[in-house]
Amino acid sequence: MVDVTVGHGGHSFLFGRKLGPKGVLIGMDIDSLSLQRAQARLADLDCQVVLIKSNFARVAECLGEFGLRGVDFILADLGFCSAQLADAEIGLSFRNEDVPLDMRIDESLETTAADIVNGYDEKALADLIYEYGQDRASRRIARFIVRRRQQERITTTGQLVEIVCSALRRPGSRPRARKHPATRTFQALRIAVNRELENLKTLLSVAPTLLKKDGYLAIISFHSLEDGLVKWDFKGKQSEGTYRVLTKKPIAADRDEVMVNRRARSAKLRIAQKN
């Protein structure tokens, strides 16, 4: 099987225990630190474990280089783990103290969040915040960003939080507010910087060529943009006869799981089986 977002190896560990000594588990991740953690977590498994540092958009090439012609299971648990979101150096979270506005998980990417915020014209910024952040105040936020950057370059998460809060006329994060005002703008920039939707589209398009007959593709997504792509891809390929969709509705975490892991509340799991 291939776990294209091995992270700290939580899912892979559970699957690896089922695979047994003849199984091969390939774990991919874009982030070196996650791979180090996965290595420690998966060290005692009986199956062969191969960890590869790569974007999952390159999964077909990676499996080819390893000499694998078909896999029984592809698992993707999209997005980032809590440790990455909390990593001040990447600047993914608006909750961090003032850190550089970067957001690249993959160091080989060239464009940072600061490049977008300072370089896009006002309309393109508003469209990005609307499309990827689904924030109805996108035009106003874009206007405030452009106004501020005429005075100084926007380089830190703190500056951006302050701009968004003033655009939305909120003084700052309120401890009891359900959503921080900057949540959607940060989500939009993170998706754009890390090319998250493009990577997912590539994974969806190559998956049928990598799966053996009756092999499974399981994808956990965390926001409606990703889940929509998965849902329509599975539906389309079911009507072409490539897949059988096993999840008519996506599987969600139950209350007990959400109690111990709050981020699971927005997770949606969809599974397809190759014909």
Q: 37 to 66, contacts with ligand SAM by CB under 6 A?
A: 55-56
User: DSSP readout, 142-157?
Assistant: HHHHHHHHTTS---BH
Here's the x/- map for ligand SAM, 131-170, by CB under 6 A: it reads as ----------------------------------------
Residue placing its CB nearer to ligand SAM in the complex, 245 or 269: 269
Helix (H) / strand (E) element for 15: namely helix 10-19
**105 touching ligand SAM, by CB under 6 A:** yes
Q: Is 190 in the site for ligand SAM (CB under 6 A)?
A: no
Q: Which stretch binds ligand SAM (CB under 6 A): 74-82, 113-121, 137-145, 169-177?
A: 74-82
Q: Residue 152: CA atoms inside 13 Å, Cβ hemisphere, count?
A: 6
Q: How far is the CB of 206 from ligand SAM (least distance, A)?
A: 13
Least Å from the CB of residue 202 to ligand SAM: 9
> Which residue has 């509340």 as its token pair?
265
Say how many residues touch ligand SAM, by CB under 6 A. 19
Token representation of residue 213: 């007959």
Q: Which two tokens stand for residue 145?
A: 């960003």
Span interacting with ligand SAM, options 9-17, 107-115, 118-126, 160-168, rule CB under 6 A: 9-17
**In this structure, are residues 250 and 227 in contact, taking their beta carbons and an 8 Å threshold?**
yes
Is-contact 217 211, C-beta < 8 A?
Answer: yes
Q: Which is nearer to ligand SAM, 107 or 254 (CB)?
A: 107
- Whose CA is closest to 96, among 177, 9, 201, 180? 180
Q: Determine phi and psi for 259, rounding to 5 degrees.
A: -60, -40
Which residues contact ligand SAM (rule: CB under 6 A)?
5, 7-11, 28-31, 34, 55-56, 77, 79-81, 105, 199
